Amino acid sequence: MECRLDKQVAIVTGASSGLGYACAEQLADAGAAVVINYHSQPKPAEELASRIKAAGGRAITVGADVSQEADVASLFAKTLEAFGGVDILVANSGMQKDAPLTAMTLDQWEAVLKVNLTGQFLCVQTAVRQFEAQGDRGVSRARGKIICMSSVHQVIPWAGHVNYAASKGGIMMMMQTIAQEVAEKGIRVNAIAPGAIRTAINASETEGEKGAALLKLIPYGRIGVAEDVGKAAVWLASDQSDYVVGTTIFVDGGMTLYPEFRGNG
Ligand code: BGC
C-alpha cells in the first residue's frame, strides 16, 4: 500500500516546529506541494521549504496567525497564487498556557481557545469554501481532505490544563459536526489525537524522571516521535483512507486505554 499525494496541494498550519513540521515534511515526501504556515518562526519554516525543494518537491512558507480571519484569508490566497488550488488542510496550530483553575487568567483561557479552537474553525471553514469554489481537481477521490490536530485530551481530562483540554474536546465535536455537514460535498474531515510525542518544545517533559513517569501511561512502552503523527496525516490525506469520515485516529501508544487499570481495578 502506497500513500501518494502527487499533484495535490497541502496547507499545514503551525508547521515551523513539532507535529506540524513533521506533517509538512511527510506530505511533501508523499508528493504533495506544501504550504508551510508559521506564526512567529520563519527561519525553520524556510529551512524546511529549502530542503523540500532541494529534494525535488514544491513548498512555500506563509506567515499567518490562524486566529485572525484576515490572516487565514491571506494564507489561502497565497496558496492559490503559488499552486492554483488546495486539496489538503492539516489544521495543526495549537498552544498550551497551563495554570491551575484558580490561578488561570481570562487571557490564558482566551488565548488558548482562540488559537486551538477558533483558529481551526477559521481554517476549516475557509478550506471548505475553497473546495466548493474550485470543484473537482481530478487529483483524488475526495474533493478535499481536512485533518484537525486534536489530542488524547479530547477525552482524557487534564488537571491544570482546563483551557487546553476544553479546546481539544471542542475540536472533537467541531470536527464531527463539520464532517457530518460536508461529507455530502465529497469532503472528508477527520482528526488525529496524538498522545505524548517528543518534540523540541516538550523535551524536558519527556526525558529523565518525568519521561519515566510518562512511560507508565503508555502501554506500548515508548514516547512517540513527530513522524508517527506525520505518517497518520499522510494516510488520512490519501485515497487509502477514502471511506474514513469523521473519525479520530489516536496516535498515542495506547494512552487512552486506561493504563492505570493494568493490575488494578
Ligand atoms: C500535549 C502534551 C502531552 C500529551 C499527553 C498532548 O496533547 O500537548 O504536552 O504530553 O498531550 O498528556
CA of 139 to the centre of ligand 1 (A): 35
Write the DSSP symbol of residue 252. Answer: S
Q: How far apart are CA 217 and CA 245, in angstroms?
A: 29
Predicted TM-score (pTM) of the model is 0.98
Percent of the chain exceeding pLDDT 70 equals 100
Helix, strand or coil, per DSSP, at residue 117: helix
3-state percent breakdown (helix, strand, coil) of the chain, nearest 5: 50, 15, 35
Query: Which element (helix H / strand E) includes 128?
Result: helix 119-134
Q: How far apart are CA 77 and CA 146, in angstroms?
A: 18
193: cell is: 489525537
66: cell is: 490562524
Q: What is the pLDDT of residue 45?
A: 98
Handedness of CA 16, 152, 71, 134 (dihedral sign): positive
- Cβ-proximal residues to 56 (8 Å cutoff; 6+ apart), any chain: none
- Which amino acid makes up residue 173? M
**What pairs with residue 63 in β-bridges?**
38
Q: What is the pLDDT of residue 7?
A: 98
Q: How many CB atoms lie within 10 A of CB 3?
A: 19
Q: Give yes or no for residue 202 having a pLDDT over 90.
A: no
**From the CB of 151, is ligand 1 less than 6 Å away?**
yes
**From the CB of 116, is ligand 1 less than 6 Å away?**
no
Q: What is the pLDDT of residue 134?
A: 98
236: cell is: 488520512
Domain boundaries defined on the chain = 9-252
Q: Encode 33-65: b = buried (16+ Cβ within 10 Å), e = exposed.
A: bbbbbbbeeeebbbebbeebeeeebbbbbbbbb
Distance, first Cα to last Cα, the chain: 41
For cell 472528508, name the residue.
188
Pocket test for ligand 1, best of 202, 210, 218, 225 (most atoms within 8 A of CB): 202
pLDDT tens-digit readout, 59-97:
999 999 999 999 999 999 999 999 999 999 999 999 999
Identify the active-site residue in 164, 220, 243, 258. 164
Q: Give yes or no for residue 1 having a pLDDT over 80.
A: no
Report the CATH fold assignment for 9-252: Rossmann fold (3.40.50)
Ligand 1, atom 3: closest residue by C-alpha: 196
**From the CB of 198, is ligand 1 less than 6 Å away?**
no
Q: Are strands 144-149 and 33-38 parallel, antiparallel or unpaired?
A: unpaired
pLDDT tens-digit readout, 51-68:
999 999 999 999 999 999
Handedness of CA 14, 20, 24, 30 (dihedral sign): negative
Q: What is the pLDDT of residue 115?
A: 98
